[in-house]
Amino acid sequence: SWLPTEEDRAFIRSLMQRVVEPGKMAGWIAPPDRGINNNPVDYEYVRLK
């Protein structure tokens, strides 16, 4: 069968972990070459206090 099994879905969920730290990128996402308006990728677009 070409549909994923529940075991397949659990494996994919284990890979797709959330990352919320500034400057960090999830392992399943390729970092972009540059940020918005040619700013660096780690540019602080919004300052959270």
Answer whether 25's CB lies under 8 Å from 35's CB: no
pTM strictly above 0.95:
no
Give the C-alpha separation, 10 to 31, whole Å. 25
- Read off the amino acid at residue 20: V
Q: φ and ψ at 30, to 5 degrees?
A: -80, 130
Domain chopping of the chain, boundaries: 1-49
Helical segments of the chain, H only = 6-15
Give residue 4's pLDDT: 95
pLDDT along the chain (49 residues), means of 10: 93 91 83 89 82
Name the token pair of 38: 């040619």
